[in-house]
A and B are shown apart, each in its own frame.
Chain A
Amino acid sequence: MPRSGRLKLKPMKSFEYFAPHTFKDAASLLLRYGSKAKLLAGGTDLNLRLERRVVDPGVVVDLKKIRALRGIKLNRQGLTIGALTLMDEIASSPSIKARYAIIADAAAVVGSIQTRNRATVGGNLCNASPAADTAPALMALAARARIASSRRQREVSLEEFFLGPGKTCLQPNELLKEIFIPSPALRSGSSFLRCTRTAMDIALVNCAVFLSLASKREVISDIRIALGAVAPTPVRAGPAETFLTGKIADRDAIEKAAELAAAGVSPIDDVRSTASYRREMVRVLTRRALEEALNRARGKRTNEG
């Protein structure tokens, strides 16, 4: 049947569909089908790519029926978010908003309500878009990806998790189970900012900062700056972090760090922006995010954003 006006070169090819109820069953399906299988979370990216035949897997393994992969858990060590947790659940979670607010801020700007009611944090990360909004927020908070296959479990930093656009360190027999974010230090603050043309658009640049201050002094003891959409993967602004560590972040130091961050990225020209505009926005967003994170760290004993 002809469909509405949009160009469709080939109809979607069908595939074998599995919806296992346990991690064990999912892992054995991956063992059996390996790279022939695509893992399905919320589907807001994968189903579109299936329809456009950007991907053409023989097998789709839907993870949504595995209850253990979904949910938000908070304890003294930190926060654990199941890979299948919805963006909307993250954006509205009181425990995330209280101490890990930038993760909620990032989840809240992903697509529309319709998208956030379906898209998952694990899907956002595994899709490995350089512009993924949750990635810099999680990276700034030192998040770890917990990965498992039928044989073993491992944990990697997000810096190790992303390999390139659409590429992660996941092996064909592995899946992302959950994200762990260590509890932030006292006297810390963070900020997530992004630059888009319109509200629903994908980020031109996104930026997250986490910093903590040495007790009773204004010296920065720990800092992480993460940037998205300006390199093949979300990246840390290493030179800017090194420059600010151990310093009092006055106006000049913040400006210098923002310049170092802009100098360190490798953005591209595309339909959303030019590379030079992206680089300039890195400078602006980094400066603003540093100021906001600093204010939050000064204003509150615990990190509330």
Chain B
Amino acid sequence: MKVTKKKIALTVNGETYEKEILPSKSLLDFLRTDLNLTGTKEGCGEGECGACTVVLDGRLVDSCLILAVEADGTEIQTVEGINPKGGLHPLQKAFAEMGAAQCGFCTPGMIVAAKYLLDHNPSPTPAQVYKAIAGNLCRCTGYGTIVDAILSAARK
């Protein structure tokens, strides 16, 4: 069977894009290679680690488990769009100040998941923070400072 490219139109960080892509391309690859938004990382590629976390139509999702064609007509926010005003988001500042990034590979996913938490619950308890980042793995195991940074950003 002849496989045809599909045209998709979607909004990423407030900008509209129209592209032709193969249906087999993941949203993660599309963001990184077609849109050059390389803040979103590929860790496990199977929905365990959350390094590829983005917000799609208001829901926190793993972009590695979504086909780019499935994102046709949707609105996406990546770590690059976390602060529409530009500069660092309070969460990013808190992560930097508290040393919440070691190798840094999980950090974009952590920031996006943390922002999703604070958008829904501006003053979370530590237990709520643990739950909110349960889908984001830090292989450096630097969870203590990550949780501290999220709680500190919530207080600001």
Contacts and interface: CB of A to CB of B under 8 A. Distances in A.
Contact of B113 (A40, A111, A113, A200): A113
Contacts of B65: 43-44, 47-48, 115, 118
B134 A112 contact: yes
A118 B66 contact: yes
A12 B43 CA distance: 18
Interface string A10-38: 00111111010000000000000000000
B62 A51 contact: no
Contacts of B116: 113
Contact of A14 (B23, B53, B61): B23
A119 to B, nearest CB: 9
Interface residues of A, number: 33
Interface stretch (B44-52, B81-89, B95-103): B44-52
Q: Dominant SS at the B interface?
A: loop
Nearest to B33: A1
Given A14-B22, A59-B1, A117-B59, 18 more contacts: A1-B33, A3-B45, A4-B42, A4-B43, A12-B24, A14-B24, A15-B24, A17-B23, A17-B67, A43-B67, A48-B65, A60-B23, A112-B62, A113-B135, A114-B113, A115-B62, A117-B60, A118-B59
A33 to B, nearest CB: 9
A115 B44 CA distance: 14
B118 interface: no
Contacts of B72: 19
A214 interface: no
A280 interface: no
Given A13-B24, A64-B70, A113 B60 contact: yes
A199 B132 CA distance: 13
A197 interface: no
A199 B62 contact: no
Nearest to A86: B59
Nearest to A117: B59
B138 interface: no
A113 B128 CA distance: 12
Interface string B1-26: 10110100000000000000011101
Contacts of B3: 14-16
A50 B69 contact: no
B45 A199 contact: no
A16 B67 CA distance: 12
Given A14-B24, A117-B59, A200-B48, A3 B42 contact: yes
A51 B45 contact: yes
A255 interface: no
Contacts of B48: 200
A60 B25 CA distance: 13
7 contacts: A19-B70, A43-B67, A44-B47, A47-B26, A47-B65, A58-B1, A112-B62
Interface in A70-125: 88, 111-115, 117-118
A4 B47 contact: no
A50 B46 CA distance: 11
Contacts of A259: none
A50 B3 CA distance: 15
Contacts of A47: 26, 65-67
In this complex, which of B42, B50, B70 has the most chain A Cβ atoms within 10 angstroms of its Cβ? B70
Contacts of A117: 59-61
A62 interface: yes
A50 B25 CA distance: 11
Contact of B70 (A4, A51, A62): A62
A152 interface: no
